[in-house]
Amino acid sequence: MGIVNVTPDSFSDGGLYLDPGRAAERGLALIEEGADILDVGGESTRPGADPVPADEELRRVLPVVRALRGATPALLSVDTSKAEIARAVLDAGADIINDVDAARLDTELLRRVAAAGAGLVLMHMKGTPRTMQVNPQYRDVRSEVTAFLGERLTVAQAYGVAPEAVILDPGIGFGKRLEDNLMLLRGLDDLAALGRPVLVGVSRKSFIGKILNAQPQDRLEGTIAAAVLALAGGAHILRVHDVRALKRAALVADAILAGEASAPPSERREPRYAQ
Ligand code: HH2
């Protein structure tokens, strides 16, 4: 999943693709690089970010979705937590709604997704982008995240969303300390056991910056390491800025992991980082 941020203030590429034409070009370039899905976002969710009014968010994302829909059959996802944005982009041909709020604030979004028969990403976040990094605490981060997403999956179903349409995301960096992010990435099997594909967004995130003491533009190797281990730990979809590098890394990782999966059980070894 390649990231197309139509925002002035995203943490790593804010302002680069605010013009709809440039954003659509960026999306098409990411497909050339190997993306199967594009995720178009009009509101930064970086820690401390202010919410964006719906009319402004719509003004940013709708022209980009229209332009991309006219230019590619690739799956189009839109990163939004607002039902009215979801309705407009689904009408314009978007395939997936990526809701970092997991429809806690706006359950109408679930009705929109259900009515369109669209895909839905439900992500775990503690609090809101404004508050999430203010002293987050967990007793057991993995079981809390899994329980939360299991519950949101049930709520989505209650609003008519087909379970097969749902993708689950542990929300790396969303109300988590460094050790929480690492613990989640060390094993996603509990989450995968809910039976839905797992999406992971590690791209250029600050936990990598903390380990490497590096700025967002200088986090590619760290992103690749985290993404490959996420794949080995059970992730199915990687949300990334640097599609070419991550696609190549993922193809090699997948080839190795496919060998592991097809070996007879007696010859299979648990990866060292599995718990
Ligand atoms: N991370 C970001 C935004 N949306 N959606 C999902 N499902 N999972 C994620 O991990 C995720 C997400 C933050 O990254 P980015 O879009 O690069 O930054 P910003 O929120 O500042 O626009």
Among 205, 210, 219, 248, the one annotated catalytic: 205
pLDDT of residue 133: 79
pTM recorded for the entire structure: 0.93
pLDDT at 175: 94
Of the CA atoms within 13 Å of residue 50, those in its CB half-sphere come to: 5
Q: What is the pLDDT of residue 237?
A: 98
Please name the residues in contact with 248: beta carbons below 8 A apart, sequence gap of 6 or more: 34
Nearest-CA residue for ligand 1 atom 8 is: 201
pLDDT at position 130 is: 80
Interval between CA 264 and ligand 1 midpoint (Å): 38
Output the CA–CA distances (angstroms, integers) from residue 53 to 6, 42, 57, 175, 243, in the order listed: 14, 10, 6, 23, 30
Instruction: Look at the domain 2-274 and name its fold.
Output: TIM Barrel (3.20.20)
State yes or no: is 60 an active-site residue: no
Size of the chain, expressed as the number of residues it contains: 275
Q: 203, 198, 243, 220: which is closest to 27 by C-alpha?
A: 243
d(CA 191, CA 200) in angstroms, rounded, equals: 11
Q: Compute, in angstroms, the gap from residue 9 CA to the centroid of ligand 1.
A: 12
- Residue nearest (by alpha carbon) to ligand 1 atom 9: 201
Catalytic member of 87, 196, 219, 239? 239
Spatial neighbors of 256 by CB under 8 A, at least 6 apart, are none
Apex 73 CA angle, 169 and 78, nearest 5:
35
* Helix boundaries (H) for 117-242: 141-158, 178-186, 189-192, 206-212, 220-233
The pocket around ligand 1, CB under 6 angstroms, is made up of 3, 5, 7, 10-12, 41, 44-46, 79, 98, 100, 121, 123, 169, 171-172, 199, 201, 239
- Domain extents for the chain? 2-274
Q: What is the pLDDT of residues 82-112, one digit of tens each?
A: 999 999 999 999 999 999 999 999 999 999 9
CA distance 255 to 28: 26
Ligand 1, pocket-test mutation among 123, 145, 204, 239, most atoms within 8 A of CB: 239
Express each pLDDT in 60-79 by its tens digit: 999 999 999 999 999 999 99
CA nearest ligand 1 atom 3, residue: 45
Ligand 1 atom nearest to 121, measured from its CA: 7
Residue located nearest, by CA, to atom 11 of ligand 1? 201
The Å distance, Cα 88 to ligand 1 centre, comes to 21
The answer to whether 12 and 49 are in contact (CB under 8 A) is no
User: H helices of the chain, where?
Assistant: 20-32, 54-71, 83-91, 108-116, 141-158, 178-186, 189-192, 206-212, 220-233, 243-262
At residue 27, the pLDDT reads: 98
Cβ partners under 8 Å of residue 156, min gap 6: 103, 110, 113, 120, 122, 163, 166
| Atom of ligand 1 minimally distant from the CA of 205 | 14
**Residue 264, pLDDT score:** 59
Residue numbers of the chain with a pLDDT score lower than 50:
268-275
Q: What is the per-residue pLDDT for 100?
A: 97
- Angle of CA points 130, 26, 66, to nearest 5°: 85
| pLDDT for the residue 85 | 98
End-to-end CA distance of the chain: 27
CA–centroid distance, 4 to ligand 1, in Å, is: 10
Decide if 205 is catalytic. yes
* Residue type present at position 15: G
Task: Retrieve residue 212's tokens.
Answer: 């490497």
